[in-house]
């Protein structure tokens, strides 16, 4: 198990892309992060303006679930679960210790997702 690689942060919502464009950005950043030795990527996708969770957020989670099942990523943690009380987060700390210092830890931020590579 690769441990203690660095955390890469990516803002995919900066110019309000379509969901398809956002997924392309995520794909690129996962590949790039792996090539550069990142252990995890913090994706900033926003929550959405409807108050129910935006399309980019929901499509991101669906896409990451498929990538996890295919073995392309280890796991992902939606921001609302990014907590020291979540078993996936505790496992993620072993993989990338920088996550312990992330400002979104314990904030239950629905606008981010952590991807473990």
CATH assignment at residue 112: 3.30.1370.110
**Per the domain annotation, does 21 fall within a domain?**
yes
**Structural domain includes residue 112:** yes
pLDDT beyond 60 at 3: no
Report d(CA 47, CA 57) in Å as an integer: 6
Q: Sheet holding 38-44: strands in order across?
A: 6-11, 38-44, 112-116, 75-78
pLDDT level of residue 2 (50, 70, 90 thresholds)? very low
Number of domains in the chain: 1
Q: Is residue 3 part of a domain?
A: no
Q: In the chain, pLDDT over 70 holds for what percent of residues?
A: 91
- Give the pTM: 0.93
pLDDT band at 4 (very low <50, low <70, confident <90, very high): low
| pLDDT tens digits along 61-70 | 999 999 999 9
DSSP E strand stretches across the chain:
6-11, 38-44, 75-78, 112-116
- pLDDT classification of 72: cutoffs 50, 70, 90: very high
Percent of the chain at pLDDT > 90 equals 86
Is the backbone of residue 73 left (phi > 0), alpha (psi -120 to 50) or beta?
A: beta
Q: Are 95 and 2 in contact (CB under 8 A)?
A: yes
Q: For the residues 30-54, what does the mean pLDDT come to?
A: 86
Full residue range of the structural domain in which residue 21 is found: 8-116
- What's the mean pLDDT in 28-38? 96
Q: How far apart, in whole angstroms, are the C-alpha atoms of residue 91 and residue 106?
A: 15
What integer best gives the mean pLDDT of the chain?
Answer: 92
């Amino acid at each position: 198990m690769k441990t203690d690689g660095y955390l890469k942060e990516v803002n995919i919502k900066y110019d309000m892309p379509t969901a398809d464009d956002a997924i392309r950005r995520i794909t690129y950043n996962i590949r790039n992060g792996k090539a550069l030795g990142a252990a995890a990527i913090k994706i900033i996708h926003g929550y959405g303006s409807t108050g129910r969770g935006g399309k980019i957020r929901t499509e991101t989670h669906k896409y990451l679930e498929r990538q996890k099942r295919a073995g392309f990523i280890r796991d992902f943690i939606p921001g609302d679960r990014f907590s020291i009380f979540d078993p996936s987060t505790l496992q993620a700390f072993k993989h990338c210790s920088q996550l312990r210092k992330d400002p979104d830890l314990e904030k239950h931020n629905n606008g981010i997702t952590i991807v473990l590579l």
